[in-house]
């Protein structure tokens, strides 16, 4: 279990206990958190689960995969700390993780 704080674009925070083994995307979707659409359900096919990872957590969340990189390249508002949340697996090491959602998912 890891406590993950999802921050909506408008600043609303949702602190959720997410089971290890799920992805950061699944933690949001299964708890009905607004701001992560995840149209493809985690197939890395749509780039609608885009989040900004809090700078302090960038090392622990790891590197973008090649497929993720090329999907993100065409998403809106991409920054150095952008990730597709379906590609971040939740582990105990991510307890305390903070991610912020973009204004919209396209």
Query: Among residues 37 and 94, whose Cβ is nearest to another protein?
Result: 37
Residue in 11, 74, 80, 92 binding another protein, rule: CB under 8 A: 74
CA atoms within 13 A on the CB side of 83: 26
**Strand spans (E) along 24-103:** 50-53, 82-84, 98-100
**Closest Cα partner for 102 from 85, 86, 87, 88?**
85
Residue in 37, 51, 82, 97 binding another protein, rule: CB under 8 A: 37
CA-to-CA dists, residue 47 to 35, 71, 73, 91, 93, angstroms: 13, 6, 10, 22, 25
Residue in 3, 13, 15, 43 binding another protein, rule: CB under 8 A: 43
Residue in 1, 15, 40, 56 binding another protein, rule: CB under 8 A: 40
**56 sits near another protein (criterion: CB under 8 A):** no
**10 sits near another protein (criterion: CB under 8 A):** no
The DSSP 8-state label assigned to residue 78 in this structure reads -
CB of 90 to another protein, least distance (A): 13
Interface residues toward another protein, by CB under 8 A: 22, 26, 29-32, 34, 37, 39-41, 43-47, 67, 70-71, 73-75
């Amino acid at each position: 279990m890891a406590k993950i704080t999802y921050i909506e674009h408008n600043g609303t925070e949702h602190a959720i206990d997410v089971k290890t083994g799920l992805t950061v995307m699944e933690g949001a979707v299964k708890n009905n958190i607004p701001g992560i659409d995840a149209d493809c359900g985690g197939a890395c096919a749509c780039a609608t689960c885009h989040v900004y990872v809090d700078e302090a957590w960038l090392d622990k969340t790891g590197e973008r995969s090649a497929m993720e990189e090329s999907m993100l390249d065409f998403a809106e508002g991409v920054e150095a700390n952008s990730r597709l949340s379906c590609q971040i697996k939740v582990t105990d090491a991510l307890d305390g993780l903070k991610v912020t959602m973009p204004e919209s998912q396209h």
